[in-house]
Chain A
Amino acid sequence: MKRIYVKENRCLGCRLCEWECMYANSGLDAMFKLKGKQGEILPRIRVEDNPEDIHFAVNCRHCKQAICVKSCIAGALSKTDEGMVVIDKNKCVGCFTCVLVCPYGAIMPAADGKAAQKCMLCTDNDRGEPNCVKYCPNGAIVFEEGDL
């Protein structure tokens, strides 16, 4: 399965990926319409900075043995046949056990605080391919077959 990989030595910490993620999942038809919507929609990718000027983006790794899927109390998280970890919003009750167990910090409460959200590789919006990858200005986020 194609996964998102991050190249730390290329990441500038500009956080465009976070905004492109929000845009892709906002349903808006122009990015500037995100204006004033901070807090109403949250990114499913997060950029970490460290004091040594290291930056990198993190989103769902789609783990083979996904501990979040096993820990979900509602069966809202599951793996597709291809291996993608998906969340069913209608089933998620917002207990955030997945947040507690995800070793990457890649699942987070959605903006309304009532359900969890995670990267589904932009298959759940109209982009079709990961928007963060497409708009990373430095090729730091790639979408490719991994060594699995």
Chain B
Amino acid sequence: MKYVIIGNSVAATACIEGIRSVDKEGEITVVSAENRPAYGRPLISYIMLGRIAEQNADYRPKEFYEKNKVNVMLGQRAVKIDAGKKAVLLESGSEVFYDKLLISTGSRPFVPPMEGLDKVKDKFSFMTFDDMKSLSLALSEEKRVLVLGAGLIGLKCVEGIADKVKSVTVVDLAPRILSSVLDEGSSSIVQKFLEEKGVNFVLGDSVLSFYGANARLKSGKELPFDILVLAVGVRPEVSLLKEAGGEINRGAVVNERMCTSLPDIYAAGDCAEGYDKSAHANRVLAILPNAAFQGRCAGINMAGGDDVFDGGTPLNSLGFFELHIMTAGVYEGECSEDISGRNYKKLFVKEGKLVGFIIIGDIRNVGIYTALVREGTPLSQIDWRIMSKCPLLSAYSAKERDEKLNKGV
């Protein structure tokens, strides 16, 4: 059996592990446009911060590929899938044949059209290791950085560079930062916190055009800058599948076994859709744990095993400097809040279940809440009075606790 995996990050790695849990012998080939072994994409801001040494950034130990008998083709971009011939055409012109193919190409930055953007010299994305490296090289203490996008990627980039440059200004169309992840209250706490660290925000505004070292905003405001970081948004990277005739919605359409509409082609990770238990719909759930679950599921199925991905839940653990933010699920239903100083907690209860939360500050045991969201535990089964105050296992019944702590897990 010949397995080919396009892309080489978390979903790809999990796929390798999934395949090897079923098939110890089949030939696995990984085609990666990047030039280094797999790493967790979110790691790049931490590398920049010096929180992890570059040599420790690999997602798996050095011997991983050898141990799993994987042929890794680094720096080889796949340009076409021939589903009929069951071959992947590489940029170099060579072809790689597959029996089972996984597309785990992640996402690519989305850049809206802006006049004069092509003339901006120092502009960067912040998605890959290489992006991070080239941005790092451009930084220096007298540089002013303009970041477009106050989402996760933009702000993680801000955290990484804030101490290294003269000024950082973030522009976002939305009226608040992290608008896709946080609600108003929590967003303003984070914003205030970042402003105290010297970050400038221009919100509810967008760049119309660039001229020279200036950005002209819709509001008429002008922002001089030396370095531009583009972090407006991302789109699933599904061009290969689309061209091959696979069904695409926002991302690659897959079933619960991670099969695309094309035979023997699977997709997993940020490029694929999946069932979102919180939104009760299929959508792209671009978070790392999902990539790991989907990748593994795809791998098992590719190798002839039987596994299903029964859905994921939006989860975010964000840290900006020493401020920690955790969110899960959706922010619907009845909200109970507990806000004091920099501690912020909102729990969302709908139809007798915890469906989501936003927690800033005291993050101890938050996973106990996450489990409630993920498992859809009816709150009538637990002591919500205790649990709503603090995530504790003691809110479970004695029997449940016994199951959790004394049985196989």
Assess A71 versus B368: contact at CB under 8 Å? Given A61-B409, A113-B322. Answer: no
B window 311-328: CB within 8 A of A: 315-319, 322, 324, 326, 328
Assess A67 versus B289: contact at CB under 8 Å? Given A99-B317, A100-B367, A107-B367. Answer: yes
Give the contacting residue for A8; candidates B296, B383, B401, B409; CB below 8 A: B401
B window 363-391: CB within 8 A of A: 363-368, 370-371, 383, 386, 391
Chain B residues with Cβ under 8 A from A62's Cβ?
Answer: 409
Chain A residues with Cβ under 8 A from B405's Cβ?
Answer: 5-6, 8, 56, 58, 61, 104
B51 engages A103 (CB within 8 Å): no
Encoded as 1 (CB less than 8 Å from any A CB) or 0, chain B from 387 to 409 comes to: 00001111100100110111111
Give the contacting residue for B408; candidates A58, A75, A95, A147; CB below 8 A: A147
Chain B residues with Cβ under 8 A from A146's Cβ?
Answer: 407-408
B368 engages A91 (CB within 8 Å): no
B window 291-348: CB within 8 A of A: 292-293, 296, 315-319, 322, 324, 326, 328
Chain A residues with Cβ under 8 A from B14's Cβ?
Answer: 70
Give the contacting residue for B289; candidates A49, A51, A70; CB below 8 A: A70
Chain B residues with Cβ under 8 A from A6's Cβ?
Answer: 405-406
Assess A50 versus B394: contact at CB under 8 Å? Given A70-B14, A96-B324. Answer: yes
A97 engages B51 (CB within 8 Å): no
Assess A54 versus B317: contact at CB under 8 Å? Given A63-B409, A105-B364. Answer: no
Interface residues on B, range: 35 or more
Give the contacting residue for B370; candidates A70, A101, A109; CB below 8 A: A101
Assess A105 versus B319: contact at CB under 8 Å? Given A74-B40, A96-B324, A146-B408. Answer: no
B401 engages A101 (CB within 8 Å): no
Rounded to whole Å, the gap between the CB of B363 and the closest CB of chain A is 6
Cβ-Cβ contact count across A and B, 8 Å cutoff: 142
Rounded to whole Å, the gap between the CB of A56 and the closest CB of chain B is 7
Interface residues on A, range: 35 or more
A50 engages B317 (CB within 8 Å): no
Chain B residues with Cβ under 8 A from A113's Cβ?
Answer: 322
The answer to whether B46 has its CB under 8 Å from any CB of chain A is yes
Assess A75 versus B394: contact at CB under 8 Å? Given A64-B408, A96-B363. Answer: no
Instruction: Give CA–CA (A136, B156) in the complex, Å.
Output: 43
Give the contacting residue for A100; candidates B326, B402, B409; CB below 8 A: B326
Chain A residues with Cβ under 8 A from B402's Cβ?
Answer: 8
A148 engages B408 (CB within 8 Å): yes
The answer to whether B43 has its CB under 8 Å from any CB of chain A is yes
Among listed B53-61, B79-87, B227-235, interface-contacting one:
B53-61
Instruction: Give CA–CA (A146, B402) in the complex, Å.
Output: 13
A104 engages B367 (CB within 8 Å): yes
A70 engages B292 (CB within 8 Å): yes
Chain A residues with Cβ under 8 A from B296's Cβ?
Answer: 70
Chain A residues with Cβ under 8 A from B51's Cβ?
Answer: 93-94, 114
The answer to whether A90 has its CB under 8 Å from any CB of chain B is yes
A window 45-87: CB within 8 A of B: 46, 48-51, 54, 56, 58, 61-64, 67, 70-75
Query: A-side interface residues toward B, CB under 8 Å?
Result: 5-8, 46, 48-51, 54, 56, 58, 61-64, 67, 70-75, 88, 90-105, 107-109, 113-114, 146-148
